[in-house]
Amino acid sequence: MVVGGDGAISSTGIYRALVRNQSQLTYSAVGSWLDGSSAAPAKVAASVALQAQLKLQDEAAQSLLDERYRLGALNIDRVEAEAVITDGQVQGINARKKNRASDLIENFMVAANGVMARKLTEAGVCSIRRVVRTPERWPRIVELAARYGESLPIQPDSGALNAFLQKRKAADAVHYADVSLAVVKLMGPGEYVLSRPDGDQPGHFALAASRDNPIWNANCISPDAIMASNTAIFVCDGVSETCPLRIPSRWNMGHRPFDSPLS
């Protein structure tokens, strides 16, 4: 896919490819280097070409992120626990937060999944999508915003919600994670659904995905395996039947909930 300076994807293509890993890097080390808070990791410092590639990818990822925000995607700050291990022994627990490196991977994944979802729909191929429907508890989210002196529309609006979240982050970055967590809980869980090209396309509220801007966002072993298999068939064989979704009989899918509306 070709990413423009404004974050819009101008052209796409899906094909088989081989990936050759050049270096093993960590989110924390690369992220702090990209935002200028630390020196480059040793493996990055040793390669001018790798530095240039990471900088280019970061620029493209930030453009994609800006475009997602323009469309109304939410910027949720999630703090995760991370074990500190030295010589195979756990020495402590640190809080792992999002950084420029994790944003880079996230934005590329969302963009690539969007391309795949559109290609499958255009080809008349069904897919399994993980979606977060419009929050039924939106009035509770409106009440939450009101506690901080902010007003949200009566009807659910992801763009307005994200503007509120960013304002809270700027005003109180220390406690922003608490506000983010409250919003995530009020949005409720998501679910796996079968998306048919000729049927309704459920959107993903948190990712600003709609019928015109679909995103295939799978991250569970069974759905992921099914979609990987069907995508391979689509790419290699050019399948174009109405709905050639092949699901092994041992996997009973249906509508399955998952925990996070953003994962």
Q: What is the 3-state secondary structure (H, E, C) of 223-247?
A: HHHHHHHHHHHHHHHCCCCCCCCCC
In this prediction, residue 248 has a pLDDT band, given cuts at 50, 70 and 90, of very low
Segment 235-242 long-range contacts (CB within 8 Å, at least 24 positions apart): 235/14, 235/15, 235/16, 236/16, 239/123, 239/125, 240/123, 240/124, 240/125, 241/124, 241/125, 242/124, 242/197, 242/198
The residues with which 192 forms a beta bridge, in sequence order, are 130
> Is the pLDDT assigned to residue 5 strictly greater than 90?
no
pLDDT, greater one: 96 or 234: 96
Count Cβ atoms within 10 A of the Cβ of residue 244 and give its class: 0-12 exposed, 13-18 middle, 19 or more buried: middle
- Hey, what are 153's tokens? 């529309």
For the record, the structure tokens of 258 come out as: 């998952």
What pLDDT score does 235 carry?
61
Among candidate residues 149, 155, 193, the one with its CA nearest the CA of residue 171: 149
Report, as an integer, the average pLDDT of 186-206.
71
Question: How many whole angstroms separate alpha carbon 188 and alpha carbon 134?
Answer: 9
pLDDT for the residue numbered 141: 94
Residue 220 has pLDDT above 70, yes or no: no
Q: What is the pLDDT of residue 158?
A: 85
Section 205-209 average pLDDT: 59
Cα(58)–Cα(255) distance, rounded to whole angstroms?
36
**pLDDT exceeds 80 at position 162:** yes
| pLDDT in the model for residue 202 | 58
- Looking at residue 68, what is its pLDDT? 84
pLDDT (0 to 100) of residue 69? 82
Mean pLDDT of 152-168: 90
CA distance 51 to 245: 41
Question: Where are the extended beta strands (E) located within 97-198?
Answer: 127-131, 190-195
Q: In terms of pLDDT, which residue wins out, 200 or 112?
A: 112
Q: Is the pLDDT of residue 170 over 80?
A: yes
pTM exceeding the 0.75 threshold for the entire prediction: no
| 200 vs 211: CA distance, rounded Å | 8
Calpha distance 175→145 (Å, rounded): 14
* Predicted confidence (pLDDT) per residue in 126-146, tens digit: 777 777 777 878 999 999 999
List pLDDT tens digits, range 17-53: 788 887 889 888 999 999 999 999 999 999 999 999 9
Helix (H, G, I), strand (E, B) or coil at 173: coil
Q: Is pLDDT of 221 > 70?
A: no
